Chains A and B, each alone.
Chain A
Amino acid sequence: MTAITLKYSRLALLLTFGLTLLSSFAVFSVGQTQVSPALARGVVRLRVRVKLDDSNKRAVGLARKRFFLIKGSLEENKDLVQSIEQRPLVSRDCYYRGIGASEPFISWLKQNDCESVYCREIETKNVEGPGAIPEFQQAIAAGEKEFGSRELARKWLAVNLRDDLRSGFYQRQQLDLHSLLKQAEERTGRKVISVMTDRNGTAYFTDIEPGVYVISNLIPAEVGERATLWNCEVNVNAGDLASEKPFLISNPANKEKNVKCVAVEKPLPACPPSKASR
């Protein structure tokens, strides 16, 4: 009887020990997955500040510009950078002159530094009276006929504008962008992410896998009378937080400290003769 009891006690002891071992293994294996993956990712706080020319005392944030984050170093992306740099640039003014837009139309875009009619509201003064823009007047007349309301025709004016006037410039840029993005994604095998700067020229790339990247605007931005292109190498570390110091990029005129990367600038290309002047 005592022998049997002893045998079962040993068995129970062994089992208890084994179960304890197993349960700790189970907790470990499940618990391991609960390590926050966010800690293994990084953030780039991008700051873009430019100085337009010597007449401007201070550098200013470059607002509403899209920047792209491409996996790999500048060396690894050598061919892509070359494609970006060699792509011919058509300036905003040249594009609209090229499609025969009227001077009042181009001037309306320039007033608020817009690239398309979607950039700002088309006001009554833009369609009536001496300041009326011919393209807008034509569109509003078509809209009034279609909707039976002049006010609605003004609010929905863009739907009756010629395609090339309305979104041709944007579409043209998109073609260039898609081609460059395709090249970047084919080389890296990763999706290129992009963000747009806010009014202070700040943008955040969040949830980034640690490693070396190139930050580029792919299509040169028109800053003053110059085409400004950034291709900057940045190292993203795990656990980088948005509260850390920004990655400041700038243009040659800005001599601020802490600038991590300077743009390459070229004068804007001269426009070919416009349709209207031919």
Chain B
Amino acid sequence: MKHEARFVLGILAALLVLVQGFGNDALGQKRKPVRPRGGITQRSIDYSRFSHSTKQHQESCKSCHSAPTPNWQKVRAFPDVADYPDHDSCVRCHRPQFFKGAQPPICSVCHTKVSPRHDARYLFPNPRRPEQFKIEFPHDKHQDVIASWRIKSRLPGSFGSSVVKSAHAVTEDKSYNNCTICHGPATKAVAPPAGGWMDSFVPPVDAFKSAPEKHDACFNCHWKTEQPVRDNCAGCHKLAAVRYATVTTPVRISLKFSHEGGGEKKNHIAECTTCHINITKAASLRGLRPDVPITGCTECHNKEGLRQDLSKELAALDQNRTFACVYCHTSNVGKLDPPASHYLVAERPAIKPRGQER
């Protein structure tokens, strides 16, 4: 019996070690980088793929890029970096590759056709290539700069107060720069996600806001003295760890919300920070989420005597656990358990998550 007990204890101890190891892994799952055996190996270089992360390509940006490029007046309405660097930028290091064979692969980085008789180039920047840089944009600084300074008393000859009474209606008679100088209503439809729109719900074009796509949104201030200026590319463009594709379909939890909606009175047109409560503290775009608390919606959509959109759906869910909330959400989101905040705002007791009703 003693032997049995020792044997069992031994097995249990070994399993305990294993379980602990598993537990730690589960808490902080990190895949260790795979290192090639035997150190760095010489491999053939694909010269048709230009990378800014190559050490030799990390000199100051203006050593290759001109700002503006000589072609800006032909292709843009504003001075811009609108073309690839000159041949000299490549040849000064890549002479052997530049003159290798009839169709050197290195030429295809910029040129649509590799031939000495064709000088046509891809669009710059090339929208078909994955991005190599992330944008550094401090929302907080920009909001500070455009913010109004003070409110004035309504003395004779003064211009009144810079504040309004209602949460949503824009009744200001003064025009301030605010988020809309960069984020106006979208004017082109967003691409559908892979597999199509959920529930075949196609959001209207103006459901989303636009974001700056060109340099004019920056250069109008950051041209020559206000840093980062036009040739200080690294002030805004930070090399990404890996190349990535530009997001063409915005991810939104409440897909049915429209920024230009809110009925006849267009009540959704509000100051951005009224709902996007975290944006003014954002010093970077990294980790930025346009998180809107449910209270931003329920101020109108769950108000006694006005509307009970949230409470109605929570009540329906109480009656039928397969009910999907579709007033704001598409069914992929609506069939999930509502978060605690929804019950709290609706002043209803939270029901047990699906599958744990008993």
A contact set with B: CB distance below 8 Å = 7, 10-11, 14-15, 18-19, 22-23, 25-26, 29-30, 33, 50, 52-53, 55-56, 60-66, 92, 109-116, 118-121, 147-148, 152, 155-156, 158-159, 163, 166-167, 170, 193-196, 198-206, 221-225, 241-243
Contact = CB atoms under 8 A, between A and B. Distances in A.
A115 B162 CA distance: 13
Contacts of B280: 66, 194-196, 203
A110 B7 CA distance: 86
B295 A118 contact: no
Nearest to B19: A26
12 contacts: A10-B4, A22-B19, A25-B16, A66-B280, A112-B148, A148-B73, A156-B223, A194-B281, A198-B271, A206-B278, A223-B150, A242-B293
Interface size class of B (residues with CB under 8 A): 35 or more
Interface stretch (B172-180, B236-244, B246-254, B324-332): B172-180
B149 A147 contact: no
B177 A60 contact: no
Contact of B159 (A92, A110, A148, A205): A110
A163 B225 contact: yes
Which of B5, B151, B152, B167 has the largest count of A CB atoms less than 10 A from its CB? B151
B8 A18 contact: yes
B151 A115 contact: no
Given A50-B151, A167-B226, A11 B4 contact: yes
Interface string B245-284: 0000000000000000000000000010110011011000
Interface of B: 1, 4-5, 7-8, 11-12, 15-16, 19-20, 22-23, 26-27, 73, 77-79, 140, 143-155, 159, 161-165, 167, 172, 174-177, 219-221, 223-226, 271, 273-274, 277-278, 280-281, 293-295, 341, 344-345
Contacts of A63: 148, 151, 162-163
A25 B19 contact: yes
Contacts of A198: 271, 273-274
Nearest to A111: B159
A26 B22 CA distance: 8
A60 B345 CA distance: 26
Given A26-B19, A26-B22, 10 more contacts: A10-B1, A18-B15, A22-B19, A33-B26, A52-B154, A63-B162, A159-B225, A195-B281, A199-B163, A242-B277
A26 B26 CA distance: 10
B23 A29 contact: yes
A19 B5 CA distance: 14
B11 A158 contact: no
Contacts, number: 195
A158 B220 contact: yes
A113 B79 CA distance: 32
A interface: dominant SS: mixed
Nearest to A68: B281
A146 to B, nearest CB: 8
A152 B140 contact: no
A66 B141 CA distance: 11
A22 B22 CA distance: 12
A121 B165 CA distance: 24
A112 B174 contact: yes
A63 B189 CA distance: 33
Nearest first, the 6 A-B pairs at minimum CB distance are: A115-B149, A222-B150, A196-B280, A64-B147, A159-B223, A204-B277
A172 to B, nearest CB: 13
A159 B220 CA distance: 7
Contact of B277 (A61, A158, A200, A203): A203
A196 B273 contact: yes
Nearest to A21: B12
